[in-house]
Amino acid sequence: MRYSIATIPGDGIGPEVIQETILVLNKVGEIFGHQMDFQEVLAGGIAIDKTGMPLPKETIEICRNSDAVLLGAVGGPKWDNLSGDKRPERALLGLREALGLYANIRPAVLYQALKEASPLRSDIVEKGIDICVVRELTGGIYFGDRGRNKEGKMGESAYDTESYSVGEVERIARSAFEIARKRNRKVTSVDKANVLESSRLWRSVIVELSKDYPDVALDHMYIDNAAMQLIRDPQQFDVIVTTNMFGDILSDEASMITGSIGMLPSASLGEGSLGMYEPIHGSAPDIAGEDKANPIATILSSAMMLRFSFALEEEAKAIENAVMKVLENNYRTGDIISKGMTLVGTKEMGRLILQELAK
């Protein structure tokens, strides 16, 4: 088969991790007999520099007409003083919205070989961690009404609005229940229903929808407690379904307890087969251009692409197994290094994964 993939290297370490991932996908194509056609497009800070806009129309068009989108990261200090809609991050939000990608799947799995990299106590890590965060991606406070009021008793003020409709909650909850059915049949809905009206609607919609899924256990947790429970007893979680912002925060936390933010992949999905695949981390300006970035989160995101957009399960597993093998052979980038392991850079990590794939 032939697959067209729009690639968005973006900024900072984005191009470095995308480069290694393209090599991996090409190798998978070679081994399994698929043709992968990559088309690189501009988004983020680099697009601002080259076109004056973070998300050129052409980028949206090419992504829309591709079979999948692979994104590195956008943003960096160079563009931090631009106003909201001109910032690099707008590109990401704009793409998610334009492509209708409302379900962000972020699996946090602790690889046995990476136990030492988790900051959690060994008796907690020993039991293994396997959580799937299902984050709502095109609603909530990220997309609500926002603005500024010049006059006020305490000076100028600014506001962002958290708002969810029944339909928006229903579709993300359905995604979560469906995913739970293929896992351990437990959904924890995380909200702030003791304070927020939008959370109260969120909770009631999920309770209603859960009647369609009597085989899946549902519980509810407030976000503050969830942040704590994730550290105290991560094994209690199977699928976590939550809002755009809570999901953003909880998934960074989940990544760290499983070793590093450099390990956690994601898939952003809508109604069709088109998806966008990206690591959950950002452009890491502090290590950009130094061959230090861990490419595994992006490489594992490409495995999710093969699985969800192309239905190539065997090929996805091949990538995941190759990553696992390299970790078992004790190779580590700086973010996951521990005593007795061999430190490698971005390129070498990519090469080792390619080598495993070819075996």
Catalytic positions: 142, 192, 224, 248, 252
Shortest distance in whole angstroms from residue 281 CB to Mn ion: 8
**CA nearest neighbour of 297 among 7, 17, 104, 2:** 17
Phi, psi of 221 (to 5 degrees): -145, 145
**DSSP-derived secondary structure letter, 263:** G
Helices and strands, counts by H and E, the chain: 12, 14
91 binds, among ligand IPM, ligand NAD, Mn ion, none (CB under 5 to 8 A by kind): none
H/E stretch holding 333 reads none
Q: Is 160 annotated as a binding residue?
A: no
Q: Which is nearer to ligand IPM, 36 or 92 (CB)?
A: 92
Q: Is 291 annotated as a binding residue?
A: yes
Q: Is 283 annotated as a binding residue?
A: yes
DSSP H helices, the chain, are 14-32, 45-51, 57-64, 89-98, 122-125, 166-181, 197-209, 223-232, 244-257, 296-308, 313-328, 346-358
- Establish whether 127 is an annotated binding residue: no
The pair of structure tokens assigned to 302 is 């490409």
Does residue 287 bind ligand NAD (CB under 6 A)? yes
For the window 55-94, what string marks contact with ligand NAD as x by the rule CB under 6 A?
Answer: ------------------xxxx------------x--x--
Candidates 11-19, 85-93, 165-173, 322-330: pick the segment binding ligand IPM (CB under 6 A).
Answer: 85-93
**Whole-number Å distance between alpha carbons of 293 and 12:** 10
With beta carbons less than 8 A apart as the criterion, state whether 332 and 298 touch.
Answer: no
Site string for ligand IPM, 270-289 (x = CB under 6 A): ----------x-x-------
Q: What are phi and psi of 203, to 5 degrees?
A: -65, -45
What is the closest distance, in whole angstroms, from the C-beta atom of residue 160 to ligand IPM in the complex? 13
How many C-beta atoms surround the C-beta of residue 310 within 10 A?
Answer: 19
Asked if 238 is part of the footprint of ligand IPM (rule: CB under 6 A), the reply reads no
Task: Supply the minimum distance, in Å, between the C-beta of residue 339 and ligand IPM.
Answer: 31
The answer to whether residue 89 forms part of the interface with ligand IPM (CB under 6 A) is yes
Contacting positions for ligand NAD (CB under 6 A): 13, 73-76, 89, 92, 261-262, 278, 281-287, 293-294, 297, 335
Contacting positions for ligand IPM (CB under 6 A): 75, 89, 92-93, 248, 280, 282
